[in-house]
């Protein structure tokens, strides 16, 4: 027998031909099968040319906030926008027309008729809804040069005019402005106004004195209520963009929280550039829905809002970057005001494609009772809610005393 290697040349050629032909057939069959597969697939998944424009397909929400937001979303949609600005003959949906008053700060006359249960809603909702679209109020007290020395950390404290003692306690403790831990810290207190119709005594003189003495008050002329906290938030972001845009970080909190400023600065100094840019940390609440129990402070009627809340950091206090604050102010123009300020900030973050990050050092629901007087526990915290002015003065030395040994 001859070995294979010595096969005559002619026979070898025939064999090669056969193999090639087989291969060809195989490839042809494969192609046919796959073409068939693809063909069948595209038959069943054929792209349907819509008979209606895409803005007609989605049903318009029945709840007031969602409907207003749908309109804003559509107006800021680049495709729709190009139709609007190009004066084309494309028919836009009727509901895209803003039928409210031309001046957004005039009472919105549509509200009582568009919200069926308007007359039975709690007064604070009626107040909120009537002026929900107004975002401009004059400043009564400003501090134009407070950020001249670019702060590393800006402490922005939501306060109310009568809370003189809380502000003073903050100035003497965690909100002490100046150079702290080798970083520039600036503190501002955010105030609205007290109206005589709400039976407030006249505090203008005392406030003027405080403003002159400490030069750390920012005040706008609107009625300072719980449901106007979103307004406070956006007015602050506007002020920040205009007066303090180079501050590296912002801690925004209530005047009844205790902040461990040293721990906060320490945390911030340890951040990488990437992490620092989009920083937004706090006590994050996820998967929340609006409360439907009328007796609750956070009650939201079904006729006003439907849907899930985005993840949001509890408004007691959260920490974010100055760069992100500028973007938040920008995007807030595209988000309809919501009566709960921290949920609103969550909505703005969501629109930016960001998610607030949980940090276990933010205790907006307080710490365990047994740790309340433990100095070392407090050294590890970033923020705790709530504390009285006297408690703040008690806790601050725990943070700053070098002789305290927490190993
Ligand atoms: C919407 O506004 C356009 C332009 O102002 C107008 O032509 C149209 O009639 C309005 N539609 C409704 C339903 O008001
Ligand atoms: C404080 O900051 C300055 C300049 O940034 C630096 O030179 C100095 O070493 C810092 N001091 C401490 C104690 O960190
Ligand atoms: C918010 O402030 C404006 C301006 O003072 C006022 O008209 C409105 O009623 C306030 N809203 C609430 C919910 O208090
Ligand atoms: C804000 O938006 C405007 C245009 O809408 C854009 O030019 C600007 O760069 C934005 N600023 C920030 C900080 O995102």
Distance 330 CA to ligand 4 centre (A): 6
Nearest atom of ligand 1 to the alpha carbon of 97:
1
CB of 237 shorter than 6 A to ligand 4: no
Query: When comparing pLDDT for 84 and 135, which is higher?
Result: 135
Cβ 306 vs Cβ 66: under 8 Å: yes
Indicate the range of 9-13, 25-29, 344-348 predicted with least confidence: 25-29
pLDDT at 320 over 80: yes
345 with 303, same domain?
A: yes
Please tell me the total count of domains within the chain.
Answer: 2
Centroid of ligand 1 to alpha carbon of 96 (angstroms):
9
60/247: higher pLDDT: 247
Q: Residues lining ligand 3, judged by CB closer than 6 Å?
A: 124, 127-128, 131, 222-223, 225, 227-228
In a domain, residue 31? The reply is no
- 259: exposed, middle or buried (Cβ count in 10 Å: 0-12, 13-18, 19+): buried
- The Cα 85–Cα 364 span in angstroms is 46
Residues 187-225 have pLDDT tens digits of 999 999 999 999 999 999 999 999 999 999 999 999 999
**Sequential DSSP letters for 150-196:** --SEEEEEE--TT-HHHHHHHHHTTT--EEETTEEEEEEEEEEE--G
Same domain, yes or no, for 124 and 145? Answer: no
DSSP code for 364:
T
Pair 118, 220 in one domain: no
Q: How confident is the model at residue 95 (pLDDT cuts 50, 70, 90)?
A: confident
Among protein residues, the one whose CA lies closest to atom 8 of ligand 1: 94
The predicted model scores a pTM of 0.86
Q: Which of 130, 149, 173 is the last residue of a domain?
A: 130
For residue 154, is it within any domain? yes
Q: Is residue 10 part of a domain?
A: no
Least confident segment among 12-26, 211-225, 260-274: 12-26
pLDDT reading at 356 higher than 70: yes
pLDDT number for residue 86: 78
pLDDT score recorded for residue 3: 40
Nearest CA to ligand 3 atom 8: 127
Mean per-residue pLDDT of the chain: 89
Domain encompassing residue 253:
139-400
Go through 172-189 and write b for each residue having 16 or more CB atoms within 10 A of its CB, e for each that does not.
Answer: ebbbbbeebeebbbbbbb
As a whole number, mean pLDDT of residues 218-242 equals 98
């Amino acid at each position: 027998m001859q070995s294979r290697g010595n096969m005559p040349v002619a026979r070898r050629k025939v064999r090669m031909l056969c193999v090639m032909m087989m291969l060809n057939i195989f490839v042809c069959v494969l192609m046919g099968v796959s073409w068939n597969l693809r063909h069948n697939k595209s038959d069943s998944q054929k792209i349907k040319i819509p008979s209606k424009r895409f803005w007609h397909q989605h049903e318009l929400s029945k709840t007031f906030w969602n409907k207003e937001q749908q309109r804003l979303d559509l107006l800021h949609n680049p495709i729709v926008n190009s139709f609007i600005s190009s004066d084309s003959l494309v028919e836009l949906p009727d509901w895209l027309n803003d039928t409210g008053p031309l001046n957004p700060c005039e009472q919105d006359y549509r509200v009582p008729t568009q919200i069926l249960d308007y007359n039975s809603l709690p007064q604070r909702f009626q107040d909120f809804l009537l002026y929900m679209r107004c975002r401009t109020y004059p400043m009564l007290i400003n501090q134009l040069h407070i950020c001249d020395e670019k702060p590393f950390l800006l402490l922005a404290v939501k306060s109310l005019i009568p809370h003189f003692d809380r502000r003073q306690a903050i100035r003497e403790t965690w909100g002490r402005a100046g150079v702290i831990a080798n970083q520039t810290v600036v503190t501002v207190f955010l105030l609205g106004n007290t109206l005589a119709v709400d039976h407030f005594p006249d505090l203008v003189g005392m406030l003027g004195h405080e403003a002159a003495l400490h030069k750390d008050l920012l005040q706008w002329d609107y009625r300072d209520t719980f449901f106007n906290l979103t307004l406070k938030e956006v007015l602050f972001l506007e002020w920040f963009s205009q007066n303090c845009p180079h501050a590296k970080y912002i801690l925004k909190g209530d005047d009844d929280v205790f902040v461990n400023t040293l721990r906060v600065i320490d945390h911030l100094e340890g951040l990488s550039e990437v992490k620092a840019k989009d920083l937004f940390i706090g006590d994050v609440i996820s998967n929340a829905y609006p409360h439907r129990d009328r007796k609750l402070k956070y009650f939201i009627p079904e006729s006003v809002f439907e849907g899930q809340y985005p993840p949001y950091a509890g408004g007691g206090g959260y920490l974010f970057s100055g760069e992100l604050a500028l973007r938040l102010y920008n995007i807030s123009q595209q988000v309809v005001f919501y009566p709960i300020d921290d949920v609103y900030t969550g909505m703005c973050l969501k629109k930016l494609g960001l998610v607030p990050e949980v940090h276990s050092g933010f205790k907006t629901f307080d710490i365990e009772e047994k740790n309340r007087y433990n100095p070392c526990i407090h050294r590890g915290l970033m923020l705790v809610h709530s504390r009285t002015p006297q408690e703040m003065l008690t806790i601050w030395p725990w943070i700053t005393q070098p002789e305290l040994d927490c190993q």
